[in-house]
Amino acid sequence: MAKFLVVHPNLDIYGGGERVCHHVLKALVTHDQQVELLAFDFDEAQYQKIIGESLPQGISVHTLGRRDIVEAKPPLSMYKRRQKIVKLLKSYKANANYDYTFSTQTLSAFETELFKKEKKNIAYIHFPEIPDYYAHYKTIKKMYWWLYKTQLERHINQLGLVFCNSNYTKGAIEKYWGKLGIAKPVVAYPPVEKLFWSEKSLSQRVNRVVYTARFVPLKRHEILKQLATELPQLQFVSIGLLRDTEQAWFEAFSKDLPANYTLKPNLPEKEVIATLQNSTIYCHLMEGEHFGIAPMEALASGCITLVHDSGGSGEFIPSKYHWSTIEDLREKIGRLSGLQDNFGFFDKQIEALQKNIEGLKPQRFEEQIWFNIAELMKLDSKTKLPG
């Protein structure tokens, strides 16, 4: 038995990263490992609400206080925030004792500071965002980000095992960090919970278009608002987490909504699933999505699932269900919604695609995570033998 510290700073939001963290914890506990969790303030009731399951039993939770204690104002807010995180971690790790760290959220000051314990480090990398930002910034921005990027990459080769969410992300990791000696990434697609899976025929559903994503400007809900205006014969619904920090933006966005467009913030998971399983079309609005658990959940729920012609979702969703421009998306939605007499044909298409994503079920994910960790532990035990 080994002792693991799982690092996931923000566990009060709903998303693929939180799913990954939950099932990593389950995989470790199921195999009788000693597990500790490090996060900002942890609310067990909120955790159960967003995940749909309780935190696995036997896990010790360490909290670093409220998340807002590390927030900082310009100038140099990114570096001020990092300095605060490092200070917190120095206090925390003075008495910390573990064999492996496992980062399930992001690579940041949290992990680079913990790397200095000189233990084995594992990470689930959702995307190498920092070097990707740096690569696309202009000169002044590059100067601002250079030191932060350098501080992270100085320790990247201390990862003994790396998981990632898609071949798309694997390619980006190898592009940016391969030359720095990072371990070869293992693709472990995020899990789709059992409750999402449905065989309900499209003909028995509401002819409705749905999108699930956090209510933040980055997620481009305004596209669905535009489509609802242009396709008034259809219903449109946006579902997502809304936090206090985005309340002002949300209130402005909520003005002058088309009559056929509904916003549903902070729905319990059961209502999210029920809405998906009673809708015909799901459209994902993000470009270059690293993987996108939401389209996979929609597909498992039995929706005709449309994704942008970029990112990791295309590894499971064929090109005929891709869109490239808003005009292209509008045309596809209009055409598909008008094919109600042919929904039986699409039921068969969806059934075939659901078979392709059966490997995304939680048990398969947990088995894959544990298999690779067990192999790492075996290797470690051999290297510690005398001679």
Sheet holding 186-187, edge to edge: 60-63, 34-39, 3-7, 100-103, 120-125, 159-164, 186-187
Residue among 187, 175, 195, 244 nearest 215 (CA) = 244
Instruction: Name the phi and psi angles at 3, rounded to 5.
Output: -105, 125
Per-residue pLDDT of the chain (387 residues; tens, 9 = 90+): 899 999 998 887 777 888 899 999 999 999 999 999 999 989 998 888 878 889 999 999 999 888 889 989 999 999 999 899 888 888 888 788 899 999 998 777 677 777 666 578 899 999 998 999 899 888 889 999 999 899 888 888 889 999 999 999 999 999 999 999 999 999 999 999 999 999 999 999 999 999 999 999 999 999 999 999 999 999 999 999 898 889 999 999 999 999 999 999 998 888 999 999 999 999 999 988 888 889 999 999 999 999 999 877 888 899 999 999 999 999 999 999 888 778 889 999 999 999 989 889 999 999 999 999 999 999 888 776 554
Report pLDDT digits (tens) over 175-229: 999 999 999 999 999 999 999 999 999 999 999 999 999 999 999 999 999 999 9
Question: Token pair for residue 290?
Answer: 């690293």
Q: Name the nearest CA neighbour of 354 among 239, 240, 277, 275.
A: 277
Strand partners, 238: 211, 263
Per-residue model confidence as pLDDT tens digits over 348-381:
999 999 998 988 999 999 999 999 999 999 988 8
* Distance of alpha carbon 135 from alpha carbon 174, whole angstroms: 14
- Cα 259 vs. chain centroid, distance in angstroms? 31
SS3 263: strand
Q: Residue 53 phi/psi, 5° resolution?
A: -140, 160
